[in-house]
Structure 1
């Protein structure tokens, strides 16, 4: 069952692999980042103007994609949820809106605590993203729309925005 998690407060910035750790610590064979399970938590498709996208006349279809990442967990067990919203519009008419929440359950062991935000907001979503792209393509094809192929996402930029928002809310 999906749970809404409180975002943990960020301290500092995005860690770099060379932030005081030796190369032996970075390549610790006992460190683990394991994807245990993944699934669609929720998928919603709305078509307020279903014929707008099929009309041959007019402007090209405009597609807006927004992506967010939610995390939660403690100890060695974590949940990462990619929250995706896609709006397809033609001539300012919303043709189709797809909302998808896709979760992965991870085990993280023997990692530096400072690296945890990077692992949860960048590495874990990057492991889930190919499946998210696949499901979006399948869903759009099954709806009779042209199959939507999503581009890669810079999850590091999403983490930067979350850090900036947390810093602004603390001031």
Structure 2
């Protein structure tokens, strides 16, 4: 006879409850004179992923893009947009929760962010800028490596074990 799983154990579940544009700012500080420039612009893009726990199984994850476009060291436009989402993650093992919130959630939000940034820029009458695809797993791994390096510098005589932020040690 097969063992029945404990009825108190529940299957892991994950879903996006809502996505929303949390913040959007567009500045064209040198308009209209800069619109007469003939040179092509240079573009700088910065991304940041953030998040917070809202309730026991409810989390907010956000992806912020800052796009600065310049012509001859003068800002053509500056766009900062934050796309956020509310996610429910229940019965997820602790070691899988941080990667879920740091990789999967931003990957789900990023297409919305890309569309909002392109739309904001199009409304300036300038050609839309479509942000490149992003490998959030690589960004997450880079962040973890930086945290590990920082921990090693702070505790050079430690045990060598990586302790994730928020984890309790005895």
Q: Post-superposition shift, 1:56?
A: 5.0
Structure 2, unaligned runs of 5 or more: 1-9, 153-170
Structure possessing the higher radius of gyration over alpha carbons = 2
Q: Is the 8 A contact 1:37 1:104 kept in 2?
A: yes
In the TM superposition, what whole-angstrom CA distance separates every residue of 1:29-77 from its partner, at most 9, and x where no partner exists? 932221101111111111122246533522x211111111001105211
What is the aligned residue count? Answer: 142
The answer for the alignment partner of 1:118 in structure 2 is 99
State how far apart, in whole Å, the 2-side matches of 1:166 and 1:52 are: 44
In the TM superposition, what whole-angstrom CA distance separates every residue of 1:136-157 from its partner, at most 9, and x where no partner exists? 1111111222111111111112
Find runs of 4+ consecutive structure 1 residues off by over 3 angstroms.
Answer: none
With structure 2 as the length reference, what TM-score do the two structures score? Answer: 0.76
The answer for the alignment partner of 2:82 in structure 1 is 101
Which of 62, 67, 70 matches 1:89?
A: 70
Structure 1, unaligned runs of 5 or more: 1-28
The answer for the alignment partner of 2:58 in structure 1 is 77
- Mapping 1:1-171, distance limit 5 Å: 30-51=11-32, 54-55=35-36, 57-58=38-39, 60-73=40-53, 75-171=56-152
Instruction: Please give the root-mean-square deviation of Cα atoms over the aligned residues, in Å.
Output: 1.8
The answer for the alignment partner of 2:162 in structure 1 is none
Higher RCO (Cα < 8 Å, 6 or more apart): 1
Q: Is the 8 A contact 1:70 1:80 kept in 2?
A: yes
